[in-house]
Every structure is written in C-alpha cells, then in structure tokens.
Amino acid sequence: MPDTSKLNETSQVPSQRETLSRKADPLKLANLLDEWMRGDEAEQRETFAVLRHFLDEDRPAGYKLFS
C-alpha cells in the first residue's frame, strides 16, 4: 500500500470550479486530435469490432445499433 503518512490537508484534488476555470490551449488540443487521427488503422479496426460486439451484445434482434 502507498505511504499515506506524508499526505496532509493541503494536498487535495482541485475543485471542479478550479478545473473548469483553466483554459485549454487550442493548439495543443488540435495537435492531440491530429495524433489520435494518425493512429494505427489496424488497431482502430480491431478496437471498433470489439466495441461494436459489446454494444450490441445484450440488445434484442430488432434494436441492434449495428447490423
């Protein structure tokens, strides 16, 4: 288990208000999106196949998301 004896009251997770008040850098977000879009196509296809299976797994025959 981690040593929690060094933790004190001042080391807390930022509140939601503090988190929302920070502005995201649009250039960094655009670069991140570009990086995601250049991902491994084979891995993306495999991941989508697994996701599609689990999304439709428990749905009745007439209510499948993917045919």
Which pLDDT value is given to residue 30? 93
CA distances from 17 to 9, 23, 41 (A): 19, 12, 38
Which pLDDT value is given to residue 4? 61
Which pLDDT value is given to residue 56? 93
Is residue 11 situated within a structural domain?
Answer: no
pLDDT per 10-residue tile (average), the chain, 67 residues: 58 64 85 87 91 92 86
Would you say how long the chain is, in residues?
Answer: 67
Which pLDDT value is given to residue 7? 57
Which pLDDT value is given to residue 57? 92
Which pLDDT value is given to residue 41? 86
Domains in the chain, number: 1
